[in-house]
Amino acid sequence: MTRLRRVLKIIRVVYRYRLDQLIDKSKAPTAVRLLLSPAVLWGRPSASRGERLRRALEKLGPIFVKFGQLLSTRPDLVPADICAELAQLQDNVAPFKSARFRQIVEQALNGSVDDIFQSFEAEPLASASVAQVHAAVLKDGSDVVVKAVRPNIEKVIGNDIALMYMLARLLAKYSQDGRRLRPVEVVADYEQVIYNELNLQAEGANASLLRHNFEGSPLLYIPRINWDYSNEKVLVMERIYGTPVTNIADLEAAGVNFKVLAERGVEIFFTQVFEHNFFHADMHPGNIFVDSSNPQKPSYIGIDCAIMGSLSKDDQYYMARNLIAIFKRDYRQVAELHIRSGWVPENTPVNEFTGAIRTVCEPIFQRPLNEISLGHMLISLFTTARRFNMEVQPSLVLLQKTLLNIEGLGRQLYPQLDLWTTAQPFLDKWLKERYSPKSVFKQFKRLVPDWLEQLPEIPPLIYSALKNAQNPPAAAVTPVAPEQNNHSGKRLRWLGAAAVGSGVGLAYASWAQPLITLAQMPTTSLVLIGAGLLMLLLR
């Protein structure tokens, strides 16, 4: 009955905001056309489709609002006019009762709030669709915030996700943009994101690692997690005191250097992506505060680490190379990198792909560098690549979303921000260090334990292979002349030298440019080197 009432509410909202106009009713079955036909009673809409969708999601409640926020970060799939409207959605939800919050905390921590905390504020600091936050003080006097998941939220999410899938399938089948928007895929992405947010222990673990990565850094501070009082349902963390990054007036009053603040935001992003390979993927302004105690060198404070991203070693390498090639306007290299990375099929016509990339990127470079959006350029590039059968890469989607947030924030703080001036030295340095002897030695140390573990298996394999090569089956044995035997010895020497060289070359390739899985490469290299040496010794 609850789901039926929810369906009826969704239908009323569809009528009221004329969302029926988002699908092609001429291609819909009779039952769908009949269901949507009463919408005409609400007349012709005066608002844009983006505004109508935004208001409809707000009417449907917090789970749909959060879904709209996700859609606003996917300009690669959602039209620009709709993205702009959905970006205005705010995740502010009426709080649930303080007594219920205390009950959830006490059940999760197996103790009384009065016994655990010195004081506990009844009024929430913040209330969102998935969780609520209250301020408290521990017995040792530490200021903390306590975050708890909303009661019965799993059931609400389950019902709304099921309805979203139903609507997504209708949109995919009957909307003119259905195939391009891939709504079912978007709902599946959202389902994973929102269920991950229900596990506060995972969020705490993310925050702890991010804090460790920036330990002692002047760029970013992450609140400390108090693990003695944290689990899947409750998270207790250090309370931070900073200025919301959107509060420009207070930052100006504090004398903050906005140029430095904007550039540090970009530096934080590239440090997370390329040095740490672990980046905060939900860096919208509500999760960012500023420590302005040193206004000429302000730093950031980050919260809410529920959504994090990372790239594979290959994607990390190819993304850096792509960014450098794009700004050098070397479009053929961009096309070749896409093919070598496996982002597009290897049979993609390079010349045709190069021309398509040039068509997208070249008009952008006619604008001043401080007006170029690297995030939107990547989106345009990947949208073009999808015409050449590039599959959606979840990690790259998170990267695009985060870059867009960082760019938007940076330009809001300092409109003249030249993202590339900050990014290029970082990428050049990262690529140089990747091939440095120190980096190669570091990779070598990391792989040696695996090599030693595999080493005992290699001599029997080499001996067996050489025995079979030198002693073929009796039926195949034929008399060999002395000069032929000498020729075979020379050939074996050449083969041995070639095997050693190939093994060393493949080993270096595995460290410097991992086009082949590292777990496989060391064994292959050792077999080649070992076999080559034995060939040289046994010739």
Q: What is the CATH number of the domain that holds 295?
A: 3.30.200.20
- Nearest residue to 431 via CA among 323, 345, 359: 323
Structure tokens belonging to residue 63 = 């789970």
Please report the sign of the dihedral spanned by the C-alpha atoms of residue 90, residue 95, residue 100, residue 103. positive
Instruction: Please tell me the predicted confidence (pLDDT) of residue 485.
Output: 46
DSSP secondary structure string, 159-185?
A: HHHHHHHHHHHHHHHH-TTHHHH-HHH
- Nearest residue to 535 via CA among 496, 501, 508, 505: 496
Judge if 396 and 486 occupy the same domain.
no
Q: What does the alpha-carbon distance between residue 427 and residue 419 come to, in Å, rounded to a whole number?
A: 12
Residue where one domain finishes, among candidates 308, 326, 344: 308
Most distant CA pair in the chain, distance: 100
For 11, the domain range is: 2-92+153-196
Judge if 517 and 443 occupy the same domain.
yes
In a 3-state reduction of DSSP, which class is residue 24? coil
Instruction: Please tell me the predicted confidence (pLDDT) of residue 516.
Output: 42
Judge if 83 and 104 occupy the same domain.
no
Class of residue 14 by CB neighbours under 10 A (exposed 0-12, middle 13-18, buried 19+): buried
Q: What does the alpha-carbon distance between residue 267 and residue 406 come to, in Å, rounded to a whole number?
A: 10
Instruction: Please tell me the predicted confidence (pLDDT) of residue 260.
Output: 94
Judge if 395 and 448 occupy the same domain.
no
Q: What does the alpha-carbon distance between residue 57 and residue 443 come to, in Å, rounded to a whole number?
A: 49
Predicted TM-score of the model (pTM)? 0.74
In a 3-state reduction of DSSP, which class is residue 80? helix
- Nearest residue to 420 via CA among 349, 480, 368: 368
Instruction: Please tell me the predicted confidence (pLDDT) of residue 270.
Output: 92
Tell me the pLDDT of the chain (539 aa) as tens digits: 467 788 888 888 888 988 888 777 777 677 777 888 888 888 888 889 889 998 888 888 878 888 887 777 676 667 778 887 887 776 667 888 999 999 999 999 999 999 999 999 999 998 888 899 999 999 999 999 999 998 888 888 888 888 888 888 877 777 666 665 678 887 888 888 888 888 999 999 999 999 999 999 999 999 999 999 999 999 999 999 999 998 999 999 999 999 999 999 999 999 999 999 999 988 777 789 999 999 999 999 999 898 888 988 888 889 999 999 988 899 999 999 999 988 999 999 999 999 999 998 898 888 877 778 888 888 888 888 888 888 767 778 788 888 888 888 888 899 888 888 888 888 888 888 876 677 666 666 666 677 667 667 666 766 676 667 666 655 544 454 555 445 445 544 545 555 545 555 545 544 444 444 444 444 555 555 555 555 544 45
Residues 6+ apart with CB under 8 A from 326: 334, 361, 377, 381
Judge if 419 and 332 occupy the same domain.
yes
Is 228 annotated as catalytic?
no
- Nearest residue to 287 via CA among 197, 377, 366: 197
Class of residue 522 by CB neighbours under 10 A (exposed 0-12, middle 13-18, buried 19+): buried
Judge if 179 and 241 occupy the same domain.
no
Judge if 278 and 159 occupy the same domain.
no
Residue 502 CA: distances (Å) to CA of 163, 449, 505, 508, 528? 57, 22, 5, 10, 7
Q: What does the alpha-carbon distance between residue 18 and residue 34 come to, in Å, rounded to a whole number?
A: 15
Instruction: Please tell me the predicted confidence (pLDDT) of residue 147.
Output: 96
Judge if 70 and 185 occupy the same domain.
yes
Q: Residues 302-311, buried b or exposed e (16+ Cβ, 10 A)?
A: bbbbbbbbbb
Catalytic residue among 282, 291, 304, 315: 282
Q: What does the alpha-carbon distance between residue 287 and residue 195 come to, in Å, rounded to a whole number?
A: 19
Instruction: Please tell me the predicted confidence (pLDDT) of residue 511.
Output: 45
Task: Count other Cβ atoms within 10 Å, centred on residue 451.
Answer: 15
Instruction: Please tell me the predicted confidence (pLDDT) of residue 37.
Output: 84
Residue where one domain finishes, among candidates 434, 450, 466: 434
Residue where one domain finishes, among candidates 258, 274, 308: 308
